[in-house]
A and B are shown apart, each in its own frame.
Chain A
Amino acid sequence: MLRFLGKRLLQVIPILILVSIFIFLFVHMIPGDPARLVAGEDATIEDVEMVRKELGLDKPVTEQYFTYMKNLFKGDFGNSLKTNRSVSYEIGERFMPTFWLTVWSMLWAVAVGLFIGVVSATKRNKWQDYLGMFGAVSGLSLPSFWLGLMLIQLFAVTLGWLPSGGMESWKSYILPAFTLGTGVAAVVARFTRSSLMDVLKEDYIRTGRSKGLNERKITWGHGLRNALIPVVTMTGLQFGFLLGGSVVIESVFSWPGLGKLLIDSVAYRDYPVIQAEMLIFALEFILINLVVDLLYGVLNPQIRYE
C-alpha cells in the first residue's frame, strides 16, 4: 500500500515536467501579443516595445523557456504580466476561496445526490423516482448563471437574508455553493440511480433477500457499496473540475476564484499566470485520481494495489 503510494507520487514529477513543456509551447502558440495587450488600448508602438522589453518578451522563445523552467525548479512562477504581482500571490489569493467553495458544493451535492439516487432506484417508476429524476434533470438543465442571478434576486434582493456576492462571512458561501452544486447533485443522483439499479439485479442481492435481510440493509449496505465505484470516479472528476474554478459562478457572485483569473489571463495572454494555473490543475487531477484509486480499495477490498 505505502509502496504503491510512493510509486504513484514519484510518477507525478515526470508528468508535471511534460505538462509544463506542453503548456509553455501551447501558450506561446496562441495568437496574440501580450506586450500589446498589456500596454493597453491606446498605447503607441514605443509603449508596446517598452513593455515587451520590460516583460522580457523580446528574448528568443527558447531563452524564455529555459528561464521559465529554471525558475520553476526554484518554485518561482514569475510575475503576472498584467499586474506585475508574483504569480504565487495572484493564485494564492484565490486558491483557498475556490477550494472551500468546491468542498462545500461537493459535500451537499454528493449527500443530496446520493440520497435522491438511492430513493429513485429503490422506488423505481414510482412518483418518488419521477420527482427525483425531474429534480435531477432540472438541476442539470438550469443554466447556472440564470439560477445564480435568480437566487440573488430572491434571497438577497427580495428577502435580504443573504449577501448578493463577495466573500465576507459564512453566509457568502451559501448561494454560490448551492448554485455550483446543483449540476453535480444532479449528475450524482443519476449515476447512483442507474448504478444501484444494476447492482440490485445481481445474484448476491437476491441471496440476501432470500436469507431474509431487510430491504434497507440490502440497499444501503450491500447494494450501495458496490454501486458507488462509478459514482466515486465521477465525483472525483467533478471535484477536479470545480477546483479549476467556475467562471460563471465567480462572475455572478463576485467570488475571488481561479476560474475568472484563468479567463482574464488568457485574454491578456498573461503567460506566467496561465502556465502556473494549468500546472496546478494538472497536479490537482493527478492527486484526485490517486485518492479515487485508494477509495476503490476501501469500497471493494478485492481490489489490490500492485
Chain B
Amino acid sequence: MRHTLLAAALAASALLTGIAAHADQLADIKKKGELVVGVLGTDEPATFIDPKTRQIVGYEVDLVNAIAKKIGVKPVLKQIAVAARIPELQQGHVDLVAAGLTHNKEREAQIDFSLTTFVTGQKAIVKKDSGITDVPLLAGKKVLTIRGGTQEPNIRKAVPTAEVVTFDTSQQAFQALQQGKGVGYVDDEAALLRSYAKLGPQKTQYVVLKQNLSTEALAIGIKKGESGLKAVVDDTLRELEKSGEAQKIFVKWYGPNTASGFQTRDFKLESDKID
C-alpha cells in the first residue's frame, strides 16, 4: 500500500517537473536476469504444484517459460492469491501475472493485457437432488465460489438474488458444495470440469448446468504502459501459435487425454481485443 502511495507521489512529481521519466521494465528484467511471474499454483491445469517434483507446472507455466526464453532470462514463479494479482503487478512485485486472469473492460484501466491465452465459459455445477436444472433457478439459493475473481460478479449479474459465499481457494469452495453448504458452485469451465472429474464415482450426483454465465478471455497481465514488455510477450505468443507449439501445449494440459477432456481448441493466440 505504501508503494502505491509512493509510486503515485513519484508519478505526480515527475509530471509536475515535466520530466517524462519512463523506466523500461523490459530493460530491468534483462538486467536482473529473471522474469518474475505471479501465478496461482492452485489452479490445475493452468498452474499447479506437481505432487512428485514439487514444482509449479501447467499450461500458463509453459507459456511463461517460452516468454522468459525469448527475453533470454530465467523464469521465477511466485505464488499469489487471486485477489492480490492486480495489486502485486501494479506495485511491481511481479513483472507479469499468469494466474487465470480474465481480460475485461474494467481492468483495462488498471493494467495491460497480452494476447488472449485461453477462452473459457463460466459455469455452475449443482447437486442433482437439488432439482436445479437451469441457471435462473439458483435465485435465492446459496452459491459458492472463489473470492477476488470475476466468478462472483458474474454470478451476481446472472442471478442477482443468489446468496453468494466466497472462499480463498476453489478447493475450499468446492468442498463446501460437496458438504451441502450451498446448492451451486461457480467457476471457469476448465477448472470446474477438473473438480468434477475428481469426484470419481460420485459424479452421477452432480450436474454441470449448460448455460454459460459468461465467456471469459484469459490473458497475461502486464503493468500499464510497459509497451516493450507487452511487445515481447505478444510476439512470443504469436510465434507459439505459428509454429504449432501453442496447439501442442493446449493438448498437453487440456486435451482429450486429460481430466479436462477438451476435444477441440476453439481459440487462437492472435488478438488482445475483447468484446
Report whether chain A binds chain B: no
